[in-house]
Amino acid sequence: MSTPRVLRQSLQRLAQHARCYSKTTTTTTTTAPLRTQPQRLLTAWSTTTQLSASASSARRSLSTSSALQHGHVDPPKPGEELYVTFIDKDNQTHRLAVSEGDNLLDIAQSHDLEMEGACGGSCACSTCHVIVQDQDMYDRMPEPDDDENDMLDLAFGLTETSRLGCQVHMTKELDGLVVKLPSMTRNLQASDFKS
Amino acid sequence: MAFVARVKPGALGLRGRWPSQVHAPRRMYSQHPAHHATPEHPLRVAVIGSGPAGFYTTYKLMAKIQGTKVDMYESLPVPFGLVRFGVAPDHPEVKNCQEKFEEVASSPDFNFIGNVSVGTKPDHPDGLTVPLASLFRHYNAIIFAYGAAQDRKLGIPGEDQLKGVYSAREFVGWYNGLPQHANINPDLTQGEEAVVIGQGNVALDVARMLLEDVDVLRKTDIAAHALETLSQSRVKRVHVVGRRGPMQAAFTIKEVRELMKLSNVSFHPVDTSLLPPDLKSLPRAPRRLMEMLAKGTTATSQSPSETSKSWSLDFCLTPKAFSPSSSSPASAQLASTTFKRTTLSPSPFDPNAYALPTAETLTLPSSIAFRSIGYKSTPLPEFSDINVSFDERRGIISNDGYGRVQHEERTRGAEMSHGSFPGLYCAGWVKTGPTGVIASTMENAFATADAIIEDWVSRTPFLNVDRKVHGWEGVKSEVLRSGDEKRVVDWQGWRRIDEAERERGRETGRSREKFTRTEEMLNVLG
């Protein structure tokens, strides 16, 4: 049997982690053990998820994370790193070194943060909604266009500084950006969906 | 746990058909064995339906409870539900969520069981049907994510008799190649005026399909028969009619903007008395929508006199009757639609205002009409056997808002009591009602998955936790006859159908040319 796609992607991503990510998060984990156990990775999908779980974070007690994530960004060149901090749904912060030009959706997905991009970053849904934490930073970004605003109108927990992650590209002006991923699923009721 | 799913007194012959725990729940559920999914005893879940709700619930569940094994039942040979058969062909970017679903499906813990419906009715001629009772015996949890396959009717004269009155749901299925509606062949050549009744996004999709340049659609995966019919369409004027006003309409701004932007199509101005005078004071989303309606297509300087096609949003009209031309017999061709005008109470600017019909009527000439007033789900035939409660009014499975299915039980005092049904969950439109975009379906499916995870972790009763279950293998050995199995379409089978459709598309310069009959799909598999 050929290597399943998920496994292949996972391996690629792990290799990427191992190659270079300067991932300075509060839940930092080392990537070295992953590199040393490639044989185990190939044995079973469940093994893969276990390992990639430890690669992303150890905070979820029963979780395994997302061997199912995708998103690809190139690691920043030394000396050219820009920093962006994500505050996830559990209020954990993740400070990441990224390259100029990367968009927030790709960055989040390649670091296994829980951000969906249902439409693949084509500005046709609102699943990559982020809330910019600092008004000044928000003002430095090019204004959202009509298409992005149309999608934001449908986003849960919309704020004055909401953006779609797929439309925010990192620039030098945005170095040090902090964004929050909105959390909303827990108290969602059927009645919220009545027309 | 007060779970007592007694079988209805009149339902004979059920003993033996339903698994033991339905008859003897106390024995079953009084034990609380450790809920650890181990490689020997993984959490086994049946998901009924392969649309976005089923896939997103599966995705979350498999990511969070390690080793979860999911069997996804789909009555068609092909997956993705409304992503394939509902999303408009000119919205390919919305279908990108399929990439995520394909990743989910590539896990060895995932099993697609296509061409197999769950129920009792033999209404699935090219496929197989397995009873829900069998699923009860072979899984720890069952997730109903089978969507909303019916639509609401208007209940007015002429609706069922006249040629030219269509269901928008069937029309959408038809242009998207849904086998069930491949043969409706709407006649778009009887006249120039069309009426769409309802003002949700499905209504706007229908309007756009009728107005859009066919050459734009030619590049999409729209069904070939639809291209042919649309290219012969004489429709030039589309009325999208609603009972209430712009402040109460269900459509979203993206879909309105798209219609406004169509080239060579203009928009008749809305009745501005229905727009709040002070738009600036509105919340963001309605403000932007009202501003766009007020502006109309002036931005592109297209006026109805300058374009060959046009459309309008006709507010405050409730349908009264469909009529043939006066000389025709009752079963003839639709010629006009009559509405009663309504007033909005307490105020046209109140988002929750309701419509009160007046005595004043309006008749719109219409050679074709679509009813687009909402979809609804139907209960599985076996729900009544096990007292799964179905909310007929809202057309959803009764649930606690998170997705835990409720059962109803008539206690000795003849009062109805409700409680959660161990191991049964619902997601998507069968849970929420037929509304919302992919993002809301996703969040909602995640909420169902979270409920399952929470129950699993807190050792809430599930099905069959006292023994090892085998999922599809168990169901198969119980209900399939020899030779049946080759009619089951697995993920590999779908990939072959997928590739065959893409290949057909390449031949005609399109992204895909769908098969529109299940027989054609199955022929790919030999």
Q: Determine the pLDDT at residue A60.
A: 30
Q: How confident is the model at residue B162 (pLDDT cuts 50, 70, 90)?
A: very high
Q: How confident is the model at residue A10 (pLDDT cuts 50, 70, 90)?
A: very low
- If one counts the domains in chain A, the total is 2
The answer to whether the CB atoms of A45 and B109 lie below 8 A apart is: yes
Instruction: Find tokens 């050792």 and name the residue.
Output: B459
Question: Is there a domain that residue A67 lies in?
Answer: no
Does pLDDT of B225 surpass 80?
yes
Whether residues A87 and A174 fall in one domain: yes
Q: Determine the pLDDT at residue A71.
A: 59
Higher-confidence residue of A27 and B417: namely B417
Please write the tens of the pLDDT for every residue from A168-180: 999 999 999 999 9
Q: How confident is the model at residue A62 (pLDDT cuts 50, 70, 90)?
A: very low
Whether residues A94 and A9 fall in one domain: no
Question: Is there a domain that residue A190 lies in?
Answer: no
Q: Which of B93, B288, B444 sits opposite A119 (nearest CB)?
A: B93
Question: Is there a domain that residue A92 lies in?
Answer: yes
The range of the structural domain enclosing residue A45 comes to 5-56
The answer to whether the CB atoms of B93 and A154 lie below 8 A apart is: no
**B244 contacts in A (CB within 8 Å)?**
none
Q: How confident is the model at residue A29 (pLDDT cuts 50, 70, 90)?
A: very low
Nearest-angstrom CA–CA distance, B123 and B148: 17
Flag whether residue A58 sits within 8 Å of chain B, measured between CB atoms.
no
Q: Determine the pLDDT at residue B485.
A: 86
Inter-residue contact A118 to A143 (CB < 8 Å): no
Q: Determine the pLDDT at residue B37.
A: 61
Superfamily of domain B20-149+377-484: NAD(P)-binding Rossmann-like Domain (3.40.50.720)
Question: Is there a domain that residue A193 lies in?
Answer: no
Whether residues A49 and A98 fall in one domain: no
Closest CA relative to residue A71, chosen from A12, A138, A130, A7: A12
Low-confidence winner among A45-54, A75-84, B48-57, B490-499 (lowest mean pLDDT): A45-54
Q: How confident is the model at residue B119 (pLDDT cuts 50, 70, 90)?
A: confident
Inter-residue contact A190 to B395 (CB < 8 Å): no
Handedness of CA A36, A38, A44, A46 (dihedral sign): positive
Whether residues A165 and A88 fall in one domain: yes
β-bridge mates for residue B142, sequence order: B46, B424
**A6 contacts in B (CB within 8 Å)?**
103, 106-107
Whether residues A50 and A87 fall in one domain: no
Inter-residue contact B386 to B407 (CB < 8 Å): yes
Question: Is there a domain that residue A169 lies in?
Answer: yes
Flag whether residue B104 sits within 8 Å of chain A, measured between CB atoms.
yes
Does pLDDT of A3 surpass 60?
no
Question: Is there a domain that residue A74 lies in?
Answer: no
Residue A47: enclosing H or E segment and its boundaries? Answer: helix A45-56
Whether residues A37 and A102 fall in one domain: no
Q: Cβ–Cβ contacts within 10 Å for residue B484, how many?
A: 14
Q: Determine the pLDDT at residue B526.
A: 85
Flag whether residue B200 sits within 8 Å of chain A, measured between CB atoms.
yes
Q: Determine the pLDDT at residue A70.
A: 52
Domains B20-149+377-484 and B152-375 share a fold: no
**Helix or strand or coil: residue B129?**
strand
Does pLDDT of B320 surpass 60?
yes
Q: Are strands A177-180 and A93-98 parallel, antiparallel or unpaired?
A: unpaired
Inter-residue contact B304 to B345 (CB < 8 Å): no
Flag whether residue A42 sits within 8 Å of chain B, measured between CB atoms.
no
Mean pLDDT, rounded, of chain A: 70
Question: Is there a domain that residue A76 lies in?
Answer: no
Whether residues A174 and A116 fall in one domain: yes
Please write the tens of the pLDDT for every residue from B456-507: 988 889 999 888 999 999 999 999 888 888 899 999 999 999 999 999 999 9
Work out the average pLDDT over B437-450.
93
Q: Which residues between 164 and 183 in chain A have a beta carbon less than 8 angstroms from any beta carbon of chain B?
A: none
Whether residues A46 and A87 fall in one domain: no
* CA B388 to each of CA B173, B408, B420, B422, B455: distance values in angstroms, whole numbers, following the listed order: 29, 6, 10, 11, 19
Question: Is there a domain that residue A191 lies in?
Answer: no
CA atoms within 13 A on the CB side of B494: 20
Closest chain B C-alpha to A78 CA, distance in angstroms: 32
Mean pLDDT, rounded, of chain B: 89
Q: Which of A45, A49, A153 sits opposite B253 (nearest CB)?
A: A153
The DSSP secondary structure of A93-139, one letter per residue, reads: EEEEEE-TT-BHHHHHHHTT-S---TTSSSSSSSTTEEEES-HHHHH
The answer to whether the CB atoms of B97 and A124 lie below 8 A apart is: no
Flag whether residue A32 sits within 8 Å of chain B, measured between CB atoms.
no
Please write the tens of the pLDDT for every residue from A81-122: 999 999 998 899 999 999 999 999 999 999 999 898 999 999
The answer to whether the CB atoms of B396 and A124 lie below 8 A apart is: no
Q: Which residues between 30 and 89 in chain B have a beta carbon less than 8 angstroms from any beta carbon of chain A?
A: 39, 59, 62-67
The answer to whether the CB atoms of A127 and B96 lie below 8 A apart is: no
Whether residues A139 and A92 fall in one domain: yes
Higher-confidence residue of B32 and B355: namely B355
Whether residues A118 and A41 fall in one domain: no
- Kindly identify which residue of chain A lies nearest to residue B396, measuring between CA atoms: A190
Nearest-angstrom CA–CA distance, B447 and B321: 42
CATH number at residue A95: 3.10.20.30
Whether residues A165 and A90 fall in one domain: yes
Q: Which of B200, B254, B457 sits opposite A62 (nearest CB)?
A: B457
Cis peptide before B346 (omega within 30 of 0): yes
Q: Determine the pLDDT at residue B329.
A: 67
The answer to whether the CB atoms of B94 and A189 lie below 8 A apart is: no
CATH 3.50.50.60 fits B152-375, yes or no: yes
